[in-house]
Structures are given as C-alpha cells and as structure tokens.
C-alpha cells in the first residue's frame, strides 16, 4: 500500500501541520490502495510562502536555463513513465494500455511542447520606441482533477516553469498518486527549492485557501463548472487572474455526406475512452433524421462490442473513478429512461461478472431531444445521447444550444465540415477524427471556462504585459 502522507514544500518532503489521513480507493477493487494527508490552511500558507520566496530568483533565470531545466524534467519523466502509468491505473482505473499510451504519454508531451515553444517565444517586442515586455505573473495555484491527472498537471506546470513562475499544486485527493511521482521527477531534475510545491487536500479547504490567498497571483483550475464558480468567487477579493477549464457537453455533428459507419463508430469510441470521463468527450451525437435507424444499429453493435473489465487486462474500458461517480452516472441513466429516450445499448447496473468495482455498461440512448436531462447535463461517464436533426442549420443550432462550449466535432466532406466547424461556439473543433495537436489552444467558450492551455497560448496565461515607454528613445535619436 502506498504511503504518501507528506507534502512537497520548499524542496523537501514535510509533515502536514495537522495529521489528517485519507484512504485512497482503487476503483477496480474497491480496496484501499494508499493513504495521503489532507492539508490545511497552515500548509497552504507554508507552500505559498516558499513559492513567493523563490519567485524573484527564478523569474530572473534565463531562457537557456529554463530550456535546460525542462529537458532535465523530460529525461527524468521518461525514466519514471511506466511507474507513473501504473499509478494512474491504480488511482483512477485507466486500463494499462491507456494509462501508458495516453495518460502518462501526455505528461511528457506537454513538457516537450513547452520546451519547443520556449526556444523561440518572444518575451520582448518593440512598438515604436516603447518596449512591450512579457514577464512572469508570479505565484500560481494549480487545482487539478482526477480524470486525466498527469495531463492536467503537466499542461499547467510546464508552461509556468517555462515562463518563470513559481507554483503550488493541489492535485485531486481522489487520484493523488501520480502527482506525488511528478513531484519526485521535478525534484530529481533539479527544479530549485520553492519553485514547485505540492499540498494534497480537498477543494473546500486547500482549494479555497489557495484561491483566496493574497500572495497567489494566479489560480488555474480544471474541473466542474460548479466548482469553478466557487474558485472564482474565492479569488475575486484579491483580483487575481483566474483561468478555468470546466465542463462540456460536446456535440458531434454527422453530416449527410459522412461515412456513417466510420463516423458513428469513431464517435462512440471517443466517448467510451477513459470510461467517458473526459470533459471534451463527444457525448451528443447529432445524426440526420433520415439515417437515425441505420445509426442506431451501428451504435448498438459498437457499444455491445466494447469490452469492460479489469484495468490490468486488455479491456477497452475500466471502472469509473469512485462510488460517488458511479452513483451519479446511474442516476442519469435512469433519468434518460424516465424522460422517454430509447435505450439502444447498456443501461442501469454493472456489466455481468463485474460486481466488485465501479464498472458501468457502455450506454447508448437514441431519440433524445435537446431538452432532456441527458442532453443538458455533463454525465462524465460512458453514456452517449443520439439526437436527430433536419438540415445543417438545425444541427448547428442544436449543437450550440448548451451552456457549454469546450469542444465540437464534425464528420463529413472537408468543405462542408469546415463550414460547419466555423459556426460552432466551442474552443476546439475536431474535423473527421483528426489527431491530437498539443500545440493547439485548449479551452472553452461560455460556461466551459476562460483562457487557454497547451502550446504558445498557454504561455500567455502565465505572463503579465508591461509597457516601458521611452525604452527606444535614445536609439531613435
């Protein structure tokens, strides 16, 4: 059993101010997998003080020094990658293949992306005789979720380090193991003491203390829209910058000229990946009304062919993360049935033979209308809603009829798909199953958040802009 009851503060592993142990549950076995400590406001104060003390020195490091540091982090991470993947499987149930090939791989992917951006990023530019300087914002607080634990840590920490910021991380207390290993990687890579700090804890205590802390200059939160609102409220009195990557209910528009079998199959696989626990999952599939029956048949076959099982094997899907999450998903499946949607595949309860563990059946609903609960609320589980539309304009209106705007998907001929993509109110739109681009900005419209992560756009989140008027006067004379 893992014992991770210390926090990483000021370059050292330290005891919490007040002992407050929490058991971490393996979602595949429902057994205790390890133990962490829940931090307090005193722990937050200590971590923020360490980050604040380290900031002046680290902010003055050169581009070359930070490039070297990110390279060292990448090298250390590579050594620990199998161990990190194993921790992710244990803490949140990702199948081993997914934990290694996607979950852990994204960690080093974000580090390498930040390193490449840093090599050429322009921190200074002249505007006439005025210097426009982009400088590190200061001490950053990071509050990260359990669903893609290392991905969400790396996509915040890497650009923050690249731009000269210091930070305090509060990972999810539900899936904290990989974050501890991340801290060990940074320590081994030689990140200066106080530049990166980690305090475990829950949102109402540690998350709130970080959000309102007067010495924190910026807070970056990934999680539910409800929790994001609370972070913003706590941060408001100190007028700090707030970055949020929140919920989603992304539409996947299958156009009339799309390859229906490929589009439906790809859409369902995208929803079921990570057991549906992805904020940008294409959970509303919009299908031409005249092709709905054909789409239902394809969907049923794909869903029933999706294997569910222990994350130690080769199943496509493991469990969802917790009893709480399982219960929420089950309630929404029951709601879909009660509101009259057609259950095409899956449904309530656990898959046969998987009574232990938080396993959910791959579930497909059809004949869903956009006012149903399962079309409005983020389920965060392996549940797809299929909606019929008449005409592209109706599909676009239906796709945009949501409080969210994180992602969108379009399947069809390139010319038509591009035209539709331009009309979707979402921060990232994928055409015809294009591969991931870690340099592309990621973030949402509307209640899916504000600001952007990944690539050069992430750097802007961690920089202040200073105008030094008269900088070039002597040269001009």
Reply yes or no on whether 453 is catalytic: no
**Sign of the alpha-carbon torsion through 153, 156, 161, 164:** negative
- Scanning 167-321, the segments in alpha helix (DSSP H) are 177-189, 208-212, 225-235, 260-272, 292-304
Is residue 124 within 8 A of residue 163, CB to CB? The reply is no
The two tokens of residue 393 are 């304009």
- Compute CA 300 distance to the chain's CA centroid, rounded to the nearest angstrom: 29
Tell me how far apart the alpha carbons of residues 230 and 295 are, in angstroms, rounded to a whole number.
40
Phi-psi sector, 414: left (phi>0), alpha (psi -120 to 50), beta: alpha
> Smallest Cα–Cα separation from 165: which of 236, 75, 60?
60
DSSP E strand stretches across 41-138 = 124-127, 130-136
DSSP characters over 9-60: ETTEEE--SS--EEEEE-TTT-SEEEEEE---HHHHHHHHHHHHHHHHHHHT
Q: Which residues pair with 9 in a beta bridge?
A: 12
Q: How many residues does the chain have?
A: 477
* Unique residue bearing structure tokens 């539910």: 224
> Smallest Cα–Cα separation from 274: which of 143, 175, 153, 376?
175
* Unique residue bearing structure tokens 């940074």: 186
Exactly one of 76, 91, 173, 245 is catalytic; name it: 245
φ/ψ of 386, rounded to 5, equals: -105, 125
φ/ψ of 257, rounded to 5, equals: -95, 10
Reply yes or no on whether 155 is catalytic: no
Is residue 416 within 8 A of residue 258, CB to CB? The reply is no
- The CA R_g of the chain, rounded to the nearest whole Å, is 23
The two tokens of residue 470 are 């008269």
Exactly one of 155, 173, 279, 378 is catalytic; name it: 279
Give ∠ CA 101-88-39 in degrees, rounded to 5. Answer: 145
Beta-carbon count within 10 A of 20 CB: 17
DSSP E strand stretches across 350-456 = 363-366, 383-389, 407-411, 428-431, 449-450
Count CA atoms within 13 Å of residue 463 on its CB side.
Answer: 20
Give the residue numbers annotated as catalytic, written as ranges: 245, 279
């Amino acid at each position: 059993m893992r014992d991770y009851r210390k926090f990483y503060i000021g370059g050292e592993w330290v005891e919490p101010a007040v002992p407050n142990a929490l058991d971490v549950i393996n979602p595949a076995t429902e057994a205790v997998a390890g133990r962490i400590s829940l931090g307090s406001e005193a722990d937050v104060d200590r971590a923020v003080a360490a980050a604040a003390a380290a900031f002046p020195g680290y902010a003055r490091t050169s581009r070359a020094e930070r490039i070297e540091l990110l390279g060292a982090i990448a090298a250390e991470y590579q050594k620990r990658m199998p161990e990190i993947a194993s921790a992710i499987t244990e803490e949140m149930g990702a199948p081993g293949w997914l934990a290694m090939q996607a979950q852990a791989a994204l960690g080093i992917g974000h580090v390498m992306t930040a390193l490449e951006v840093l090599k050429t990023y322009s921190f200074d530019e002249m505007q006439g005789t005025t210097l426009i300087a982009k400088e590190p914002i200061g001490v950053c607080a990071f509050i990260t979720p359990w669903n893609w634990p290392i991905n969400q840590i790396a996509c915040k920490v890497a650009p923050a380090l690249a731009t000269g910021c210091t930070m305090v991380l509060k990972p999810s207390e539900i899936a904290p193991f990989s974050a501890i290993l991340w801290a060990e990687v940074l320590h081994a890579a030689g990140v200066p003491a106080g530049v990166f700090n980690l305090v475990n804890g829950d949102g109402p205590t540690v998350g709130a203390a970080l959000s309102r802390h007067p010495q924190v200059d910026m807070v970056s939160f990934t999680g539910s829209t409800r929790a994001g609102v609370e972070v913003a409220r706590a941060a408001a009195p100190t007028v700090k910058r707030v970055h949020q990557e929140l919920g989603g209910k992304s539409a996947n528009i299958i156009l009339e000229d799309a390859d229906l079998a490929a589009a439906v199959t790809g859409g369902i696989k995208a929803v079921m990946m990570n057991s549906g626990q992805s904020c940008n999952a294409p959970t509303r599939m919009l299908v031409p009304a005249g092709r709905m029956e054909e789409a239902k048949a394809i969907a049923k076959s794909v869903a029933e062919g999706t294997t569910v099982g222990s994350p130690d094997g080769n199943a496509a899907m493991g469990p969802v993360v917790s009893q709480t999450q399982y219960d929420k998903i089950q309630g929404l499946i029951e709601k879909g049935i009660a509101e009259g949607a057609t259950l095409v595949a899956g449904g309530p309860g656990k898959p046969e033979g998987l009574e232990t563990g938080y396993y959910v059946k791959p579930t497909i609903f059809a004949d869903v209308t956009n006012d149903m609960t399962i079309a409005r609320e983020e389920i965060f589980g392996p549940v797809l809603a299929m909606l019929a539309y008449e005409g592209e304009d109706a599909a676009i209106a239906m796709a945009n009829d949501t409080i969210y705007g994180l992602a969108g998907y379009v399947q069809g001929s390139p010319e038509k798909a591009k035209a539709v993509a331009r009309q979707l109110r979402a921060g990232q739109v994928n055409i015809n199953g294009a591969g991931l681009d870690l340099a592309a900005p990621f973030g949402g419209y509307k209640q899916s958040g504000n600001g952007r992560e990944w690539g050069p756009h992430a750097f802007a989140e961690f920089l202040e802009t200073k105008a030094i008027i008269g900088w070039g006067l002597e040269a001009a004379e």
